[in-house]
């Protein structure tokens, strides 16, 4: 038998062995993370993560306070992969009422709560600031909040073990001159593993935990300041 025919078999077996080993390491590393304990460190994680991983938010806020922050996105539907934040007929209204017109957003976005204002940031393909929209307390007090489930853009084929890492969303809908404007609030910051940490499962899982702790508190802080945003 030609030994070349054995190469695919060896590769498949090696791949299975590698996956078994990595799954065991993942389970062991996960057991070392106490998410409830990490939640008690919210204030610490909020400052640490902001300084180390999302310092651009401080730059974009230009000295204004950052009371809470998390990732954001534009709602998606099955009929329309990425629906525009503002339809064609509302662009002029949104432009005059909010200050800019938001096109469809597929790049990374953020929410920042600063005093009584909500700041929505969208970025371009290289992570630079693209749009900055501010919703003041009057618009927030007239807004509605509902649970949106798992982020639809990340639905698809994924392992059951990774399901817990998919962001859950709340949808906040603003009234822009009688027209609804819906945006999503994530319950965790968007996590992209550093290539140098691909085999460091402990660091990956701890970073994910910190990102979740910071992100899931955003809605709580927002609701404490604006009781009208309670979800029924």
pLDDT for 135-194, tens place per residue? 999 999 999 999 999 887 655 544 555 667 789 999 999 998 888 889 999 999 998 877
> How far apart are alpha carbons 166 and 155 in whole angstroms?
9
Q: Which residue has the higher pLDDT, 31 or 212?
A: 212
What is the model's pLDDT at position 217? Answer: 97
Is the pLDDT at 57 greater than 90? The verdict is yes
What count of other Cβ atoms lies within 10 Å of the Cβ of residue 152? Answer: 17
What count of other Cβ atoms lies within 10 Å of the Cβ of residue 93? Answer: 17
CB-based contact 218:185 (threshold 8 Å) = yes
> How far apart are alpha carbons 22 and 151 in whole angstroms?
26
CB-based contact 50:57 (threshold 8 Å) = yes
pLDDT tens figures, 102-142: 544 567 899 999 999 999 999 988 889 988 999 999 999 99
Give 33's DSSP letter.
-
Q: Which of 169, 164, 173, 172 is nearest to 151 (CA)?
A: 169
CB-based contact 144:171 (threshold 8 Å) = no
> How far apart are alpha carbons 137 and 157 in whole angstroms?
40
Segment 72-82 shows an average pLDDT of 61
- Burial label for 116, CB within 10 Å (0-12, 13-18, 19+), is middle
Is the pLDDT at 20 greater than 90? The verdict is no
Helices (H) and strands (E) in the chain, counts: 7, 7
């Amino acid at each position: 038998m030609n030994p070349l025919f054995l190469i695919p078999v060896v590769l498949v077996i090696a791949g299975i062995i590698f996956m078994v080993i990595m799954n065991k390491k993942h389970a062991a590393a996960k057991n070392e993370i106490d998410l409830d304990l990490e939640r008690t460190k919210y204030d610490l994680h909020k400052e640490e993560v902001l300084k180390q991983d999302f310092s651009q938010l401080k730059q974009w806020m230009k000295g204004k306070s950052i009371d809470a922050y998390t990732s954001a996105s534009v709602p998606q539907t099955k009929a329309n992969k990425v629906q525009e934040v503002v339809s064609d007929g509302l662009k002029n209204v949104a432009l005059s009422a909010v200050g800019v017109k938001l096109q469809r957003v597929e790049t990374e976005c953020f929410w920042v709560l600063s005093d009584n204002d909500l700041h929505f940031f969208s970025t371009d393909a290289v992570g630079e600031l693209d749009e900055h929209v501010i919703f003041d307390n009057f618009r927030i007090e007239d807004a509605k909040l509902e649970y949106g489930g798992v982020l639809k853009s990340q639905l698809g084929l994924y392992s059951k073990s990774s399901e817990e890492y998919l962001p859950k969303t709340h949808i906040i809908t603003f009234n822009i001159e009688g027209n609804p404007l819906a945006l999503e609030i994530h319950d965790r910051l968007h996590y992209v593993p550093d290539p140098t940490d691909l085999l460091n499962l402990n660091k990956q899982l701890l970073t994910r935990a910190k990102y979740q702790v910071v992100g899931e508190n955003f809605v709580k802080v927002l609701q404490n300041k604006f009781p009208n945003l309670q979800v029924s």
